[in-house]
Every structure is written in structure tokens, then in C-alpha cells.
């Protein structure tokens, strides 16, 4: 059953902690993306990767980091430098025909 | 800079009615346009993808049109059902490897 999985579904972080959100896809897609969704603000692009071992900053990359060591995996680390990390985080991948698909999301809350 | 607008932000419609959701974009030089559905607390589900060379796409009760010259797309939902209640987002891609730009969505509520 092909798709994009994100874990955990809910994540709680204390002030000053780094946390890593997992994103895995078995769709054999080259391009993967991380978005942040806040109420009333729409989706904002954090980082994206067109191919393994390569990634670029999106519109709001400050306080985040990513890696792309495997085609299937694109983890996002929310660092302590991110001042307002509470949000809904969505991972996506793109087909060769440029159709974008999304995972179920991770809701991060800072305690 | 490409901007995508969806008006209205929210819409309530009685069950059974046909309805149209609107999406406008400021730069007509797009590669494709995609419509998504998002249920509360969930990820986005792809509904329809329209390439720049196409005028419309259909899937079941959904029909999406694209008019690049006027910078507009519409999503037509026939015979609406309570299960259609969700937020609908449109997104445009400028080039093949470009990021997509999202509208803020229209929150649709179908009244039983």
C-alpha cells in the first residue's frame, strides 16, 4: 500500500529541546517537501529536496534543519532556535507528472 | 510574485445543491494547478490536477476548470453531500521544478 507516512501524529516539546519529525514515502518519488500550517496563514514551505543528498531552503527555514540520505526518508528537525514551533507540520512528495501528495501530518505543541 | 486567492473563505450550502469554489492567481504563466481537500486535523488529499495545456479535469462529482488568461480556476461540486464538508485548497506551480503556491482555502459546510 503506497503512501506517505509521518510520525508521530502528536508531539510535545519542552522549551529548548530539539525534536525530529519523521517522513517516509514508498512511492519512489524524487522530490519531497516540508510545510508548516498555522490557522489563517495557509501552508508555508520550510524545506524541499529534489533528489537524494540535496535540499534547499523554503520560505521559512530558520530554526529548522533537514537531511535526505535516502530517497524514502526526509526527516525534519525543529531546533530550539525556532521561536514559535507550535504548528501542524505536513510532509509531501511529488510525482514525475508534478502532482503533489501529502502525508497525514504531525501536530507539534511546545509546553 | 505569484499570489493565489480563494474567495469566499467559508461557504455553507444545503445538501443536494451544486456549487462552485473559486481560485484566482496573479501570474498566468503556470505549469499546472492542483485542487486539494483537507479534513480537520488531517493531511491534504489531491482531488484534481490540471496541466497548463488543459481546460478542465473531471473526477466523479468534481469538475475543475482552468482559464489561464484570466487567472482563474473553479471547482464544481455536483449534488453536494454532508461528506463533502471540508476545506478546499487550490495551488499553482510556476515551472516543472518550482514550488507550488497555495491559496488559504475555502471552508465548505454542507447542511444536512
Nearest to A102 among B41, B44, B96 (CB): B44
Q: Is the pLDDT of residue B94 over 80?
A: yes
pLDDT on residue B98: 82
Nearest to B102 among A43, A50, A103 (CB): A43
Q: Please, what is the average pLDDT of chain A?
A: 94
Tens digit of each residue's pLDDT (9 = 90 or more) over A2-49: 699 999 999 998 988 999 999 999 999 999 999 999 987 889 999 999
Q: What is the mean pLDDT of residues A47-69?
A: 96
- Beta strand A106-110 pairing with A10-13: parallel
E-only strand ranges, B10-105: 10-14, 19-25, 32-38, 44-51, 56-59, 62-67, 72-77, 86-93, 100-102
Verify whether the Cβ–Cβ distance B43 to A103 is below 8 Å.
yes
Q: Is the pLDDT of residue A1 over 70?
A: no
pLDDT on residue B77: 98
B3, B100 Cβ separation under 8 angstroms: no
Strand partners, A93: A32, A101
pLDDT on residue B11: 96
Verify whether the Cβ–Cβ distance A43 to B89 is below 8 Å.
yes
Contacts of A42 in chain B (CB under 8 A): 89, 102-105
Amino acid at each position: 500500500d503506497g503512501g506517505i507516512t509521518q510520525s508521530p501524529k502528536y508531539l510535545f516539546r519542552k522549551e529548548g529541546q530539539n525534536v525530529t519529525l519523521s517522513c517516509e514515502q514508498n512511492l519512489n518519488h524524487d522530490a519531497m517537501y516540508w510545510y508548516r500550517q498555522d490557522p489563517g496563514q495557509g501552508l508555508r514551505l520550510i524545506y524541499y529536496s529534489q533528489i537524494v543528498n540535496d535540499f534547499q531552503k523554503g520560505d521559512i527555514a530558520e530554526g529548522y534543519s533537514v537531511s535526505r540520505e535516502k530517497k524514502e526518508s526526509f526527516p525534519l528537525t525543529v531546533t530550539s532556535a525556532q521561536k514559535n514551533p507550535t504548528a501542524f507540520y505536513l510532509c509531501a512528495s511529488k510525482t514525475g507528472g508534478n502532482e503533489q501528495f501529502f502525508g497525514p501530518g504531525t501536530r507539534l505543541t511546545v509546553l | 510574485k505569484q499570489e493565489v486567492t480563494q474567495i469566499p473563505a467559508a461557504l455553507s450550502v444545503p445538501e443536494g445543491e451544486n456549487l462552485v469554489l473559486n481560485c484566482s492567481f496573479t501570474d498566468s504563466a503556470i505549469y499546472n494547478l492542483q485542487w486539494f481537500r483537507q479534513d480537520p486535523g488531517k493531511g491534504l488529499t489531491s482531488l484534481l490536477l490540471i496541466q497548463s495545456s488543459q481546460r478542465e479535469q473531471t473526477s466523479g462529482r468534481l469538475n475543475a476548470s482552468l482559464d489561464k488568461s484570466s487567472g482563474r480556476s473553479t471547482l464544481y461540486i455536483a449534488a453536494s453531500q454532508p461528506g463533502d464538508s471540508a476545506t478546499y485548497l487550490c495551488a499553482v506551480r510556476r515551472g516543472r521544478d518550482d514550488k507550488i503556491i497555495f491559496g488559504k482555502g475555502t471552508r465548505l459546510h454542507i447542511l444536512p
